[in-house]
Chain A
Amino acid sequence: MGIGTYLVLASVLFGFGAAGFLARRNMLIQLMSIELMLNSVNVLLLAFNRVNPSNHDGQVFAFFVIAVAAAEAALGLAILIAYYRIKKTLDTDDATLLKY
């Protein structure tokens, strides 16, 4: 078993996240899908760092990704609540103002 397995797993998880983000209409679940994608990237970073363990670059990067994910979750949920206030729903198909 080599690093390729990790990479495949990461890409599959990323695919799940992407598909969830694109296919679901519930904004909450779309945000969770984003978390999935970020997580899969972390796997990738750690796996590559494990191949070349002479430094911690990958792990430091993953650390920052976790921090950014936290910030993203906070902001995303804030936006979600603001959106809910306006639309009284979490359905993103109702967010069509971009058309104008």
Chain B
Amino acid sequence: MHVEAPQQILLLLIILFPLGGAIINGLLGRYMAKGLVTLVGVGSVAVSFALAVVSFVELYGLRHESETATLVYHFYEWFSLKLPSGHVVAVNVRFVMDSLSGVMTLVVTGVGGLIHLYSIGYMGDDEGYPRFMSFLNLFMASMLILVLGSSMPVMFVGWEGVGLCSYLLIGFWFENRDYAAAGRKAFVVNRIGDFGVLIGMFILVAVAGSFEFADINSAAMAGEFRPDFPVWLLGVAPSLATVACVFLFLGCTGKSAQIPLYIWLPDAMAGPTPVSALIHAATMVTAGVYLCCRLSPLFITSDVAMSIIAVTGTLTALLAASIAVVQRDMKKILAYSTVSQLGFMFAAVGVGAFAAGFFHVFTHAFFKACLFLGAGSVMHAVHAHGDADIFKLGGLKKALPITRLTFLASCLAIAGFPLTSGFFSKDEILLGAAAQIFRPDDMLMTSVGWFTLIGLTLAAVMTAFYMFRLYFLTFTGEYRSADQSGDHPYDAHPHESPPAMTIPLVVLGVGALTVGFLGLPHVVPIIGTHLSDYSWWGHWMAGSVAGQPVPEEMYIVNLASGLAFGAMAIGISAAWVLYRNKGTDALAEKMPARLYQIAFDKWRVDELYAATIVNPIKNVATVAGRADMTFVDAIMTKLPSFNVREAGRILARLQNGVVHVYGAVMVVGVVAVLAWFWTPHSRIEAAFEGTQVELTTPQGLGYEYRWDANSDGEFETQWKRAPGTTFQYGHDDMRGIAVFLKNVHTGIEHRIDVTEEWMPLPIESVVPAEFLSPRDTGFEVRIDGESLLFRKAHAKTKLSGMKEIRLPMGKSGRLGPARVSSRPLVEATLEVRNAFGNTHSATKEIALPFGFEAPTHASLTRPAHEVVR
């Protein structure tokens, strides 16, 4: 049962405040004082956060009444569309806060608000500060639309909006070509994913008949996505759910940086650090996970899709972690760490542990935002712009005590140190993978479970290792830029950041340590309350995401916890030994140089894509561009310009400025006009009313008319000023019968005059060959007395004496998509006389749409519909 509170206007306001801030700062920011820009930019998000808290509290209250309680605000109906089945689907701009989107809204506005606050200190001196604030606010609004939207299209608006803001903010310092290229790369790569989302959305609406997540999910639970996809792919028939989920997951790989579309995220670090923290770590990149959780009842119906997601996530986690291990730039390490952690989340989704995956989204938002902001603080302190080579840093714990402590807290969290937030969430993911192993009767999911468990454990080891490598190299030992030697050293005297930057760090750092307790009970297996069912988090999420498979046996829980703890311990110990108080890359000395280099080059995936995809497309584009310049431009621009130039050259000679010539031209024109008036003009138009034919002609000034309606040489009317006449044609006026073929779809009409000989009917001119069956090709027609006679013309029917079909005069019938009508032809003559006394006569053949009451033959009594094949 849904408990729906009255219209929740707050849900709309949560979105409108950042949107308004974006508009104000975007349009007026450059004319406003910096303080005002800050007030609008940060204030709007703060208000939004406060409203989100109010809504969340209300939702929390409602949860006591129903597990699936939601807050709904129906704004207006955006548009509606009609499915081929005739079903009309309304697309509503409607916002829904349930347990899933409620948590996400709090994370977005809360963490987002802190990052806005941080930006005051970090970006305050940048001349693009109002623009930056405007983009950040726009991002907040888009992200909130994405989160709160109740249907796929509304979510997609936010999905595209955050993509746009991501592009704008990555290329924020667009004067730098590399940064602008990074923004473009993010945009283009995301387009590929968006294509997947769109296709997935279309499949969903085609099957479920609704765009609303709730309807799609209930359709999925009702098994509507179980049937096979109507088109076979690669020789197999996947289910509808599989195809839809795979396409949706393609979108997720773009937005959430998974294999194969993760390549944009590391480059996205070109943007200002708060952007990296907000968009490329805490919120936007988790949109894919959010979408999977949102549609979890759908995803869970397809084991194939789930396996693909789990394997992809695990591989991504491993690949990104392996790259992060050898990077030198702080933000690069964090970027690959983000990719890796996103891989964890997707692996969780893939093994069905949606709540666990989303819990990791939640905790990750805290510690990764804190890590990025900490990195930003370090860069701010040493005046590094854009990159921060950890081998040029070191020993910063003295100069940056707050940054160091919060950074350490977050490193512990991400590594999974017991009782920090990352420990809880990562543990739960491993538990989800382990639970799959012990599903007895499913080979596929069992093997996926094994793969995921082992892969994620390895990735967790690497995570702990590279995070503490980063921490030790940055904060312990000696400050390696102090003596100003080496290549581009940093500022010799680092200093702690201003409070606007440290306050968010502290808040996020505390969060990184503590928010994990929301998922507490299950990590205390000894007491026996082992399962996520009993944790606050699992209970809270149960209303909106599909349930997680629950292992019965306690040893599985212990196994997962043990693996998580072991991985953390191994990783941190290795980093301690190799990097604590040291300034060199000890790993590089121990690893084969080649392997190290390839890992450092990010396994050369970018180069692989460049060679296999980007360059071929570029080559095609080059060829197409050449063709465009040589052929299209020649036709579209050179030829018209040539025409205009030459016509101008000729006409310019007439424009000689001599009045006489102009006068001569004018007189010639006068003569022409007079000549037109000199002789009368007429044309005949016929309208049919019953069997009466109304003959008309356009009225001319001072004209007189007389009609010979049947062209027999005798004028029926005298000279008169009225242009029209009516006439009833008789059988004797007929001059022949014509057959008209009209394609009813295209309206193309074809007329032939029929004689008494058999003549082929050129039916191909109105009926495409594919509309006719082979035996229909070739009709012949001739006049037989007062009706048309059709017969099929090819040899076989001629031999077999096929029955002929009559079409009486004035009747019509169908031949394939063509309407065949037989019409009697008559002729009308009109004579006009103008005031000069000159006369002109016009004749026109008229095909009458009716037959005559003629002396009947027996053949005429046949009904017309016999022509229908």
Structural contact, A95 and B656, CB atoms closer than 8 A: no
Q: What A residues does B664 contact at CB under 8 A?
A: 22
Q: Tell me the nearest residue of chain B to A99, going by C-beta.
A: B657
Distance from B641 Cβ to chain A, minimum over Cβ atoms (Å): 23
Structural contact, B656 and A96, CB atoms closer than 8 A: yes
CB < 8 Å neighbour of A21 from B655, B657, B658, B663: B663
Q: A49-86 CB contact bits vs B (8 Å, 1 = yes)? A: 00000000000000000000000000000000000000
Distance from A25 Cβ to chain B, minimum over Cβ atoms (Å): 7
Q: What B residues does A92 contact at CB under 8 A?
A: 659-660
Structural contact, B657 and A97, CB atoms closer than 8 A: yes
B83 contacts the other chain (CB 8 A): no
Q: A18-B667, A22-B664 are in contact. Are A95 and B659 (CB under 8 A)?
A: yes
Q: Tell me the nearest residue of chain B to A97, going by C-beta.
A: B657
Q: Tell me the nearest residue of chain A to B655, going by C-beta.
A: A99
Residue among B655, B656, B657 facing the most chain A CB atoms (10 A cut-off): B657
Distance from A21 Cβ to chain B, minimum over Cβ atoms (Å): 7
Cβ < 8 Å to A, chain B residues 641-688: 655-660, 662-664, 667
Interface size class of B (residues with CB under 8 A): 10 to 19
Q: What A residues does B659 contact at CB under 8 A?
A: 92, 95, 98
CB < 8 Å neighbour of A25 from B655, B660, B667: B660
Q: What A residues does B660 contact at CB under 8 A?
A: 22-23, 25, 92-93
Q: Does more than half of chain A's interface fall in helix, strand or loop, or is it mixed?
A: helix
Distance from A32 Cβ to chain B, minimum over Cβ atoms (Å): 16
Bound CA–CA A18/B666 (angstroms): 12
Bound CA–CA A93/B658 (angstroms): 6
Structural contact, B663 and A96, CB atoms closer than 8 A: no
Structural contact, B663 and A99, CB atoms closer than 8 A: no
Bound CA–CA A23/B656 (angstroms): 17
Distance from A95 Cβ to chain B, minimum over Cβ atoms (Å): 6
Q: What B residues does A98 contact at CB under 8 A?
A: 657, 659, 662
Bound CA–CA A46/B669 (angstroms): 28
Bound CA–CA A99/B662 (angstroms): 11
Q: Tell me the nearest residue of chain B to A23, going by C-beta.
A: B660
Q: B325-366 CB contact bits vs A (8 Å, 1 = yes)? A: 000000000000000000000000000000000000000000
Q: Tell me the nearest residue of chain B to A93, going by C-beta.
A: B658
Bound CA–CA A100/B662 (angstroms): 15
Structural contact, B658 and A22, CB atoms closer than 8 A: no
Structural contact, A100 and B657, CB atoms closer than 8 A: yes
Bound CA–CA A25/B659 (angstroms): 10
Bound CA–CA A1/B558 (angstroms): 132
Q: Tell me the nearest residue of chain A to B664, going by C-beta.
A: A22
Cβ < 8 Å to B, chain A residues 6-56: 18, 21-23, 25
Residue among A21, A22, A96, A97 facing the most chain B CB atoms (10 A cut-off): A22
Structural contact, A96 and B667, CB atoms closer than 8 A: no
In addition to A22-B660, A25-B660, 11 A-B residue pairs with Cβ atoms within 8 Å of each other are A21-B663, A22-B663, A22-B664, A95-B657, A95-B659, A96-B656, A96-B657, A98-B659, A99-B655, A99-B656, A100-B657
- What would 14 A/B residue contacts be, using CB atoms closer than 8 Å? A18-B667, A21-B663, A22-B663, A22-B667, A23-B660, A92-B660, A95-B658, A95-B659, A96-B657, A97-B657, A98-B659, A98-B662, A99-B657, A100-B657
Binding site for B on A (CB under 8 A): 18, 21-23, 25, 92-93, 95-100
